[in-house]
Amino acid sequence: MEVDQSQGIRSDSILMKKYRQYLLPSILTSLALALNEFVDSMILSNMLGSDALAIANMGYPIIFVIAACYVLLGNGGSTLYALYLGAWDTVRAGKVFRLSMYLAVLLGLAVVLFGWIFSGPFTTILCADEGLREAYTSYYHVMLFTAPILIVLLTCVCFLPPSGAPVYATIVNIVSNVLNLVMDVVFIKVLGFGVEGAAYATIVGYLVGAGLLIFYIISGKVNIKNEKIDVFDTSLTPLIVTQGAATALLQICYAFKYSVSNQLAVEYGGRTGVVGFSLCLQTFSIACVFLLGIADTAQPLLAMLAGQRDFKGQADVMKRSLQLQTLFSLILTAFFIVFPQAIIFAYGVDQPDMVELGIQGIRLFAFTYLPRGISIQFLRFFQVEGRRKYAFAVGLMDGLFVIPLGYFLADSFGTDGVYMSYPAAAILMFVIIFITNIIIYNNNRESFSNILLIRKDVGSISTINTTITDTNEDISAISEGMIDFCSENGLSAKQAMRVGLMCEEMAVYTQHHRRDTGDIDILLRVREKDIDISFRSIGEPFDPTHRTEDDSEENLMLLQTMTNRLSYDYIMGMNNTLIQIARQ
């Protein structure tokens, strides 16, 4: 095997295999969450008519506020958690989880209290149609009590993917939402609760989901790092909040911009306009199942890789995510342009004026998906990379551009203008991100590899980033290649031999613990004071810091005695080992 000493011959095979394993659970999780918006609304519309659909649509701001809370703590906390895992700081990762759960309980109770005290003004603002106000108020009050359950449960669920358990996150969400749908029928059709029956169904569904999650944790099926933390120690709180602020802002802006858009739809189209806008939102929910599922797949991987300073891995994950965002967006756009009637039929809307307005709106909305999907992918990446101001700015653009564009376009095109404001805002946001990235890259070429703003490893004198197969031939070749590389980069012959030996012994250890031949990612960094060698492989967990009966005593003795630091963790279903050697 030949090692390219400038760039290495790193394959994306390990990360892409893990990406594929996470993609379907992430999409299914997004699908399960969308059921709360999409199928609930469909059931309401078919059982109770278009007025119930309008009431549920006016309840979206409440859903978005609740989502903002669990995204703030769940997305922010789990991203920070993955960053610390990647940086080999499992204690701090465990404290982040514990603190995030404390904050979720407090925030859930605060939403109920605040929403109840100010229920009068809120219901007046959110429900512009006075004829629906009474029914909406009943729905609003029950929806408030879903907040603590949803915020606590979904915050915890966010920590399952970076803990290597994306499938369990999917199961919890699917069970919660399928039961929610069943209870919709029970509460609305059997018990006659009306539109607020959908909110009661949500409470029951997610309580069962919470019980299932507790079972997974207690039984050991899910292993989340969990460390005690002083209740008065708030040092990690700002980090969690700032990490999740941009995605939480998206949810807050959803609440605000959809409320404004509803008012514009009422003003320019009456109840027909509101129903038409509701149908557009349902297509958007369908699109978000895939687009957010892709972003959710990438984020924990990007965070782990950021902690490990594996920028080549980040580039691979970002490129694959952008490719998938483009592919799914184009498919969804084409589908809703050609078959807008499908969504209208699903919701049982048959009034000719509503059908005509719905078809036009759905086709206009379809041009939102591609630019917005790519923009949200960048927002998630900026969060991981600590570019919080940039991520926050993207969140603001996503939320606020629609409002002035909505007023301007509605004034010119009526109800169609309300629908047109969403693709117009998404395209404008994408163009601004593209131009901004080019400017940042051109002004900082020494720090970034390309306009994706993937960082360069400026802290290392030289690096090898490569992938080998754990065959005897590749193991021997990588050892020789590392020795030559270290010798050519200023290390003594003794240290170069030590580095080569550590690479060989760790690869042999990995080979011994695998049933089948597989790949090993190796990242070697020569720095001023030390040498870091990181190893990554897929397979059953092992731990070179502890000897088992199956281990070779000589192999482990060399690994444990000839390194200044030997660290191991099983992160996201991958064996990660760090060897650190001090330079002489």
pLDDT band at 2 (very low <50, low <70, confident <90, very high): very low
Q: Phi/psi at 458 (nearest 5 deg)? A: -75, -15
Strand-by-strand arrangement of the 519-526 sheet:
462-469, 519-526, 530-538, 574-582, 565-571
Highest mean pLDDT among 31-45, 481-495, 548-562: 481-495
- Residue 229 sits in the same domain as residue 117: yes
Share of the chain above pLDDT 70, in %: 96
Tell me, yes or no, whether 1 lies in a domain: no
Q: What is the pLDDT of residue 277?
A: 84
Q: What is the pLDDT of residue 214?
A: 94
Q: How many structural domains are present in the chain?
A: 3
pLDDT band at 374 (very low <50, low <70, confident <90, very high): very high
pLDDT band at 76 (very low <50, low <70, confident <90, very high): very high
Q: Is residue 147 predicted with pLDDT exceeding 50? A: yes
User: Of the candidates 437, 458, 479, which is a domain's last residue?
Assistant: 458
Average pLDDT score, the chain: 87
Task: Identify the residue whose tokens are 């970076």.
Answer: 162
Q: Is residue 376 predicted with pLDDT exceeding 80? A: yes
The string of pLDDT tens digits covering residues 422-472 is 999 999 999 999 999 999 999 999 999 999 999 988 776 788 889 999 888
Q: How far apart are CA 422 and CA 417, in angstroms?
A: 9
Quick one: average pLDDT of 99-111?
A: 94
- Residue 195 sits in the same domain as residue 82: yes
Helix or strand (DSSP H, E) at 42 = helix 38-48
| Residue 584 burial class via C-beta count within 10 angstroms: exposed 0-12, middle 13-18, buried 19 and up | exposed
Q: Is residue 128 predicted with pLDDT exceeding 70? A: no
Q: Is residue 184 predicted with pLDDT exceeding 90? A: no
pLDDT band at 46 (very low <50, low <70, confident <90, very high): confident
Q: Is residue 107 predicted with pLDDT exceeding 80? A: yes
Chain-centroid distance of CA 40 in Å reads 23
| Numbers of helices and strands, H then E, in the chain | 22, 5
Q: How far apart are CA 467 and CA 521, in angstroms?
A: 4
pLDDT band at 145 (very low <50, low <70, confident <90, very high): confident
What is the four-CA torsion angle of 503, 506, 508, 509, rounded to 10 degrees?
180
Tokens of 198: 């959908």
Is residue 45 within 8 A of residue 53, CB to CB? The reply is: yes
Q: What is the pLDDT of residue 1?
A: 37
Cβ neighbours of residue 418 under 8 Å, at least 6 residues apart? Answer: 261, 264, 265, 268, 269, 273, 277, 406, 409, 410
User: Of the candidates 185, 216, 235, which is a domain's last residue?
Assistant: 235
Nearest to 157 by CA among 143, 176, 142: 176
pLDDT band at 7 (very low <50, low <70, confident <90, very high): very low
- Residue 430 sits in the same domain as residue 544: no
- Residue 449 sits in the same domain as residue 468: no
The string of pLDDT tens digits covering residues 480-498 is 999 999 988 888 899 999 9
- Residue 312 sits in the same domain as residue 441: yes
Q: How far apart are CA 512 and CA 344, in angstroms?
A: 58
Q: How far apart are CA 53 and CA 56, in angstroms?
A: 5
- Residue 87 sits in the same domain as residue 189: yes
Chain-centroid distance of CA 430 in Å reads 19
Quick one: average pLDDT of 521-535?
A: 90
Tell me, yes or no, whether 155 lies in a domain: yes
Task: Identify the residue whose tokens are 């007046």.
Answer: 124
Quick one: average pLDDT of 529-550?
A: 87
Quick one: average pLDDT of 66-72?
A: 90
Task: Identify the residue whose tokens are 């010798």.
Answer: 487
Tell me, yes or no, whether 108 lies in a domain: yes
Tell me, yes or no, whether 255 lies in a domain: no
Q: Is residue 61 predicted with pLDDT exceeding 80? A: no
Is residue 375 within 8 A of residue 394, CB to CB? The reply is: yes
DSSP 254-295: HHHHHHHHHHHHHHHHHHHHHHHHHHHHHHHHHHHHHHHHHH
- Residue 413 sits in the same domain as residue 540: no
CATH number of the domain at 536, please.
3.30.565.10
Range of the domain at 394: 267-458
Tell me, yes or no, whether 363 lies in a domain: yes
Quick one: average pLDDT of 130-145?
A: 79
Q: What is the pLDDT of residue 377?
A: 96
Tell me, yes or no, whether 476 lies in a domain: yes
- Residue 88 sits in the same domain as residue 171: yes
Q: Which of these ranges, 6-10, 59-63, 107-111, 364-368, has the smallest mean pLDDT?
A: 6-10
533-558 in b/e form (b: 16+ CB < 10 A) is: bbbbbbbeebebeeeeeebeeebbeb
Is residue 61 within 8 A of residue 281, CB to CB? The reply is: no
Query: Which H, E and C letters describe 314-327, residue by residue?
Result: HHHHHHHHHHHHHH
- Residue 202 sits in the same domain as residue 281: no
Q: Is residue 576 predicted with pLDDT exceeding 90? A: yes
pTM for this model (two decimals):
0.86
Q: How far is CA 511 from CA 220, 554, 555, in A?
A: 27, 15, 12
Q: What is the pLDDT of residue 315?
A: 94
Write out the E strands in 285-383. Answer: none
- Residue 316 sits in the same domain as residue 445: yes
The string of pLDDT tens digits covering residues 236-279 is 999 999 999 998 888 888 778 887 888 888 888 887 887 888 88
Q: Is residue 382 predicted with pLDDT exceeding 90? A: yes
The string of pLDDT tens digits covering residues 311-331 is 999 999 999 999 999 999 999
Q: What is the pLDDT of residue 23?
A: 92
User: Of the candidates 402, 430, 458, which is a domain's last residue?
Assistant: 458
Q: What is the pLDDT of residue 55?
A: 74
- Residue 285 sits in the same domain as residue 221: no
Tokens of 280: 């557009």
Tell me, yes or no, whether 121 lies in a domain: yes
Tell me, yes or no, whether 49 lies in a domain: no
Q: What is the pLDDT of residue 300?
A: 93
- Residue 331 sits in the same domain as residue 388: yes
